[in-house]
Structure 1
């Protein structure tokens, strides 16, 4: 009897893993086999307000402000929210020609609260389109106006391509290349695949645009660790799902030190897992009730755990099913677990072919176990009840990104 119960548990776990991997397969196949769909660009140049949340960003803020101001007209606004800063961010932003809101509220840290303060500030003279750009990001030439025009034509939220790359001043390592590859999968390949299938995407925190009429400052006023994805999911539930617009790009550097990388990874992983718990059931229920494929697609996407966690889950489950087959002769759990592993390996191989051949070789593959352990640390902390507060990842000095 115990063997039968164990077999059922393993089968259910394997089926769950297959379902969690199918969305990844859909995205990689969409990116591999389909072409980009046309994305309308408005001939009307809307009025723009660019919001830049900045917490201790004195190294980057002036260059970022100067770069963005080149694309703005006198009818546009550029607002820096100096959020709980202990450096010269506000002063340098003002000297560069930005409007500045200084927010000091140690009891409510987080990017979401900073954005809410900025939105309330511009509400007296609202623009047609609001853009959100992080202080350490470099926008592609013409990207601000292009993103705004695309958002105006879409009449809904639009997410540009958000890339993070390794700092060229820091010697490249297999670990940093793995992190960059994982970022390309998450923020480029997966939303590209969905876009080519005609499906929505998540908001990614920077390089996102929104019509003012959809803005709700109260929605932004949150200390959630994955506030960007939260905003996008709430908009999708309100029947305004974000669309992916790859032609506009923002780029930034990964944190330069191991502590900063760990902080950033921990915040992302715990925030993502929190959204799985809070929003996955709602998305599935509303998607089925409305017969909304877009909501179900977003549900399937957030159900995909971090890739390191997904790889570990596949290895552990397949090993457990093989052991159970040897001891009890049950073949079904092994077959389903093998299917999940094959789907995952196919997705990884496709991703490597499309966007990883310049990054991933044998040396990087050897570092996979350490990379998986790094991903699992925040998950184990969360399982022990150690929730991470919203903190900015530590960085050291770095050069500006190339245009």
Structure 2
């Protein structure tokens, strides 16, 4: 029993130390997100050739909006093609897309137990287009429920040419819907992350996170790596890790947006986050030795290694929360957000104050509580208020704060539970749980320009 207690104490100490590192790193990073955005590249004439792929599984409710949006992009039609990937559809997604003039690639499972999901659909689509690297410069991926600014290809083209053809460009991830406690939570955390994580990293010359949609990847890079080979449930994160470890660049574009439909109920959010967490843990645990090896050999800088490592294990905090729970500290459990500034802050605040030992218990509790309040205020008032104001042109009223905090509190349990569950299920990477989409363009808050 003594050995078990010692092991538990060591794990708790490691967790406290890691959360402290995350706290310091994300606060430092957030400082570089306050400056107003200015275009960092010069406008360029249309030159890059785009292949656009849209994986769609039973998306009849929203696919028409996507096709209309893609057909009306402000870019020469001879320089881009788009395909709807009707993946194992049992509805009329393919028929609707074809009736509107879209090119459709239909994919089917080879067997009952064959893997399914977005990565498999993308792999099959590229196999259907074997000369994609010769015909196109960039592959751009959107989800079927997305809407995008009409200027998106022009902006990506300009950045791609001006910044010497990076491997990946990720565009701003906006919210198609924001109403309700669940959708609001997504909107708030994405708004914070877009500016204080991704834009901040871009300004520091670090690779940004790939968000799963609204990103362009160099076709020559894909061809060199043998096509679409990422097969985890988080193909975006897997691609991000692969590009970084191989010395590639991932840039952020804060000037153009895609609008993504967010879940509106806790069950749908739970299922989506379990899938995200399974894939995230799988990619992180599988690639940490590779990252350390490349860094030690000088293949990536210390700053790049730290940026990726902190993102890899941003989900570790709920695991350490569980350790604290087992240790009888349930009343001190602190909130954890997936991949955002607050994600490390709350747990690290506790780590910092609890390290002093039991003899300082009262003061530790007081300081921990104060730190928690300050971190919530910093993230959900200061960071969100600033990002919402400068990026979305909205002023956050104090009257909205209780509703935002209620959204945060209710979603906290959901987020933390899925990140712990994802760790235990991380080896299961062959079952894709679909998130249903139904919001049409005229029903959305975020809408494309023009």
- Fold-level similarity (TM above 0.5): yes
1:390 equivalenced with 2:432 (yes/no): yes
1:129 equivalenced with 2:138 (yes/no): yes
Deviates more, 1:63-72 or 1:277-286: 277-286
Alignment match of 1:195 (pick from 202, 210, 221)? 202
Work out the CA distance in 2 between the residues paired with 1:26 and 1:399. Answer: 38
TM-score with structure 2 setting the length: 0.76
Residue 118 (structure 1) aligns with: 125
Structure 1 pair 208–366 and aligned structure 2 pair: CA distance change class (3 A): closer
Structure 1 pair 285–222 and aligned structure 2 pair: CA distance change class (3 A): closer
Residue 353 (structure 1) aligns with: 385
Residue 410 (structure 2) aligns with: 370
- 3-state SS in 2 of match to 1:81: strand
In the TM superposition, 1:212-251 aligns within 5 A as 212-216=219-223, 218=226, 220-251=228-259
1:138 equivalenced with 2:142 (yes/no): no
Name the count of aligned residue pairs.
397
Structure 1 pair 50–5 and aligned structure 2 pair: CA distance change class (3 A): closer
Residue 173 (structure 2) aligns with: 162
Residue 330 (structure 2) aligns with: none
Q: CA deviation at 1:31?
A: 0.2
Residue 381 (structure 1) aligns with: 421
Task: Note the residue ranges of structure 1 that are not aligned, 5 or more in a row.
Answer: none
Residue 307 (structure 1) aligns with: 337
Structure 1 pair 297–9 and aligned structure 2 pair: CA distance change class (3 A): closer
Residue 81 (structure 2) aligns with: 77
Deviation readout 1:256-286 (Å, 9 max, x if unpaired): 3333222222222332233332233433442
1:258 equivalenced with 2:266 (yes/no): yes
The answer to whether the 8 Å contact 2:86/2:104 transfers is yes
Structure 1 pair 7–80 and aligned structure 2 pair: CA distance change class (3 A): closer
Residue 104 (structure 1) aligns with: 108
The answer to whether the 8 Å contact 1:128/1:211 transfers is yes
Work out the CA distance in 1 between the residues paired with 2:377 and 2:314. Answer: 14
- 3-state SS in 2 of match to 1:215: helix
The answer to whether the 8 Å contact 2:20/2:348 transfers is no
Q: CA deviation at 1:249?
A: 0.8
Alignment match of 2:15 (pick from 13, 16, 23)? 13
Structure 1 pair 12–377 and aligned structure 2 pair: CA distance change class (3 A): closer
Work out the CA distance in 2 between the residues paired with 1:4 and 1:56. Answer: 52
Work out the CA distance in 1 between the residues paired with 2:161 and 2:130. Answer: 18
Work out the CA distance in 1 between the residues paired with 2:201 and 2:131. Answer: 37
Deviates more, 1:130-139 or 1:372-381: 372-381
Q: CA deviation at 1:116?
A: 1.5
The answer to whether the 8 Å contact 1:200/1:294 transfers is yes
Work out the CA distance in 2 between the residues paired with 1:6 and 1:130. Answer: 47
1:48 equivalenced with 2:66 (yes/no): no
Q: CA deviation at 1:219?
A: 5.5
Q: CA deviation at 1:377?
A: 2.2
Deviation readout 1:275-321 (Å, 9 max, x if unpaired): 33223343344234325233432223333235166466347646855
The answer to whether the 8 Å contact 1:284/1:299 transfers is no
Work out the CA distance in 2 between the residues paired with 1:176 and 1:138. Answer: 17
1:325 equivalenced with 2:359 (yes/no): yes
- 3-state SS in 2 of match to 1:250: strand
The answer to whether the 8 Å contact 2:64/2:97 transfers is yes
Q: CA deviation at 1:96?
A: 1.5
Deviation readout 1:171-194 (Å, 9 max, x if unpaired): x33443223111222344310111
Work out the CA distance in 2 between the residues paired with 1:9 and 1:349. Answer: 33
Structure 1 pair 35–89 and aligned structure 2 pair: CA distance change class (3 A): closer
Task: Note the residue ranges of structure 2 that are not aligned, 5 or more in a row.
Answer: 316-335, 389-394
TM-score with structure 1 setting the length: 0.84
Residue 149 (structure 1) aligns with: 158
